[in-house]
Amino acid sequence: YFFWGGGFSHHALSADCPSDGRTWVPFKDRCYHFVHGEEDKLKVYNFESAKSLCPHSELLSIQSAEENDFVVKYSPEVWKGEVNVWLGMYYDTNSEGMMWFDEEPVKFTNWEPGSSPSDFVPMETCVAVHSDTGKWERVSCLDDLENGVVCETAQKSSGLLSGLVILCIIAIVAVSVVLWFLHQRQHPGSSVVTGFEYHPPFRAPDGDRSCLVEAEELDGGP
């Protein structure tokens, strides 16, 4: 799948996403894997099982309204019907607030009415997002709830682009050396750098003219 201009199509995914045999969807600088079964049937898991499905990645963390909209718009391409999706969020007792599993602070929220964390939040509080509305709901991590799973990871820098840049630099240097060598063979002893001559703005009078000037000055004396 490929997300493009608000629509989706079945195309090869970005080479910057993991190539582990699963379908990863690029969006901005992140990659997402929507866990599903055969024929796009929904597969749901409890919270502990959901975390184990994202090795070398994390459960979905949403940092902006754009990212939240992306999840809402892409979900129907994977699952049929409304789905609750686990968020990689937990209650941190040290900060006494919600945190993402990747240790990023929670800057963006989209709580449904009545779910915004109050002064008292149980330690086993987890969060799920509704795929149809994009609203977040507080749920218990310990209850036998089963929700959909989206794994998320950062895109890696492309080694292909770096390799192309290096090859271009090598090619430019090689061409410059060849041109210099050919120039030296055709013009031995010459310099590639063009020489410059200094031409003073006034020329000094030669010897004969200097003597003539002096004689005229003497004849015109008192």
CA 116 to chain centre: 31
Q: To which residue do tokens 């001559």 refer?
A: 197
To the question of pTM greater than 0.85 for the whole model, the response is no
Which domains are assigned to the chain? 2-154 (3.10.100.10), 159-219 (no CATH)
Q: Taking the C-alpha atoms of 170, 171, 176 and 182 in order, what is their torsion angle to the nearest 10 degrees? A: 120
Tens of pLDDT, residue by residue, the chain (222 residues): 444 444 444 333 445 898 888 899 999 999 999 998 664 556 789 999 999 999 889 999 999 999 999 999 999 998 888 889 999 998 888 888 889 988 888 999 999 988 777 656 788 889 999 999 999 999 988 888 889 999 999 998 655 555 555 675 787 877 787 786 777 777 766 555 454 454 555 454 555 554 444 545 545 555
| Neighbouring residues of 155: CB distance < 8 A, sequence distance ≥ 6 | 14, 16, 17, 26, 29, 30, 31
d(CA 119, CA 126): 16
